[in-house]
Homo-oligomer: A and B are copies of this chain.
Amino acid sequence: MLSAANYANSDIPQRAVNGSGASGLRPFLADATQRRLAPREHAFYEGDEGSHIYRIERGIMTLYRLLPDGRRQIICFKFPGDLIGFEAREQRTCGAEAVTEAELRCLPMHIASQRLRQDASVGVEVVELLAAELADARNQLAVLNRRSAMEKLAAFIVDLWRREAPRQGACLALHISRSDMADFLGLTVETISRSLTKLKLKRIIALPEAHRLVILDMGRLEGLSTGEALD
């Protein structure tokens, strides 16, 4: 839901090369040049012509679209192992910004599409990748529409948790700011903050610090994410 491929860890892991992602492109990615991004730096902007595809080696990125009124809609968060920039044909349909410091491998698009034209197995891979992204986007669509702020937020946390769970008990490192959450869930920072506070008061989560979140009652949280009432 946050992104297509599942990822590991919380301190933005050096995750082993994506299992489901890129076997046929893997050798090419291995050779690809590397690029480092500071937080808020962009890999590319909406409207750019797509010159490369990227694999995230380290850090968290967002794909986002700008709305006519200047606000942005975050489409998804991407984590180490994920590929981004594949959707581009002529123009990029969304921008890609680093949330944390990040490291990317950059594979020139023409190499990728050449491989795609030559080798059917690459096609199979990429189709799977895109199908997963599509399922993801559609899921997000279903979550955003017609759900309460609390449901959205609960679903978001549960989802984050699922990605980070293998690691360290019930404690999540929140690398994502309130404002990024808001732009992802289609809410305001105030609403995010208020909802977090409510969850805290109900002892469903704890926030030892602003960017560290502990899940106290996963059952309730999952309940909330599927429409149960809070009170």
Task: List chain A positions with a Cβ less than 8 A from chain B.
Answer: 63, 65, 67-69, 71, 73, 75, 86-89, 93-94, 116-124, 126-128, 130-131, 133-135, 137-142, 144-147, 186, 226-227
Contact = CB atoms under 8 A, between A and B. Distances in A.
A53 to B, nearest CB: 12
A142 B63 CA distance: 12
B123 A126 contact: yes
A146 B71 contact: yes
Nearest to A140: B141
B144 A144 contact: yes
Given A134-B87, A139-B93, A146-B71, A124 B127 contact: no
Contacts of A137: 134, 137-138, 141
Contacts of A124: 116-117, 123
Contact of A65 (B75, B86, B116, B142): B142
Nearest to A226: B68
19 contacts: A65-B139, A67-B146, A71-B146, A75-B141, A75-B142, A87-B135, A87-B138, A89-B131, A116-B124, A117-B120, A117-B121, A117-B124, A118-B120, A120-B120, A122-B123, A130-B131, A144-B144, A144-B186, A146-B186
A65 B88 CA distance: 26
Most B Cβ at <10 Å: residue of A124, A130, A141, A227: A141
Contacts of A130: 127, 130-131, 134
Contacts of A73: 141-142, 145-146
A152 to B, nearest CB: 10
A73 B133 CA distance: 18
Nearest to A128: B89
A65 B120 contact: no
Contacts of A69: 227
